[in-house]
Amino acid sequence: MALGLEVILIFVGALFLTGIAVYFISVYNGLVRLRNNIKKSWGNINVLLKQRSDELPKLISSVKGYMKHERETLSVLTKARTDFLKAKTMSEKAEADGLISGALKTIFAVAENYPNLKANENFKQLQERISGLENELADRREFYNDSVNNFNIRIESFPDMFVARMMSLKPQEMFKVSDGDTKDVDVKFD
């Protein structure tokens, strides 16, 4: 083979191998980053869930004097908080989170019927704080699900799936809150 052709073939081969190596490293690092994004975004949800859970006893004690007829709602909230504190897995936490969100919606809706409670400064501050946390939680759940979605698409796409298989990566679960959990708790007015 002529020298020139040999050099060109070696050059093309070297570029090809460099391209493959860079691609492999990039896919590998990308998958590691995506996996860590999921862990991090779950950690970020947990921080807010914990902050909201810490505010609940204050909320319950500030409303129970006014909402004497909504004991059921308050007990649902107390139970959901206990479930959340006991929860170990993501699905258990998601379930407790949904129950808490539903009960909170009910409490804030029902509070409209209690002018004295609505005027209470402490309640107003707690409502503002908890509503703020609820909004941030909604954003972070969405962010978590986006991270999981990116990861799941990537590990099932060609040709990234080969690197994902080598790394034994499995699709991750979305943060699902069932419709039943987020429904307002039924309140019976006496």
Partner 1 sequence: MSEGNGFLYAVAGFFFGLFLFYRGIRAFMRKRLIENIPTSKIRSIAMGMVEIFGRVEPQTAKKILRSPMSKKDCVYYKYKVEEYRSSGKSGHWVTIDKGEKGLPFHVRDDTGVVLVDPKGASVDIPKDFHFSTGFRKKEPETLLSFIKESGIKYNFGIIFKKNMRFSEHFLAPNDRCYVMGEAADNPFVEDATGKRNADDIMIRKPESGIKYYITDKGEKEILSSLNRAVLGGLILGPLLSIGCLLIIFLYTGINI
Q: For residue 185, what are the contacts with CB-CB under 8 A and spacing of at least 6?
A: 72, 73, 76, 102, 103, 106
Among 28, 42, 114, 143, which residue interacts with partner 1 (rule: CB under 8 A)? 143
Q: Which lies closer to partner 1 via its Cβ, residue 8 or residue 109?
A: 8
Q: For residue 20, state whether it binds partner 1 (rule: CB under 8 A).
A: no
Q: For residue 122, what are the contacts with CB-CB under 8 A and spacing of at least 6?
A: 62
> Which of the stretches 12-20, 96-104, 117-125, 174-182 binds partner 1 when contact is defined by CB under 8 A?
12-20
Among 68, 115, 122, 139, which residue interacts with partner 1 (rule: CB under 8 A)? 139
Report the distance separating Cα 93 and Cα 7, nearest Å.
62
The HSE-up count of residue 49 (CA atoms within 13 Å, CB side) is 26
Q: For residue 140, state whether it binds partner 1 (rule: CB under 8 A).
A: yes
- Number of Cβ atoms within 10 Å of the Cβ of 21: 10
Q: For residue 28, state whether it binds partner 1 (rule: CB under 8 A).
A: no
Report the distance separating Cα 150 and Cα 138, nearest Å.
18
Q: Taking the complex as a whole, how short is the minimal distance between the CB of residue 146 and partner 1, in angstroms? A: 4
User: Minimal CA–CA distance to 36: which of 183, 167, 185, 181?
Assistant: 167
Site residues for partner 1, 148-167, by CB under 8 A, read 150, 154
> Which of the stretches 10-18, 63-71, 77-85, 114-122 binds partner 1 when contact is defined by CB under 8 A?
10-18
Interface residues with partner 1 (CB under 8 A) are 2-5, 7-8, 11-12, 15, 19, 22-23, 26-27, 30, 33-34, 37, 40-41, 44, 48, 132, 135-137, 139-140, 142-143, 146-147, 150, 154
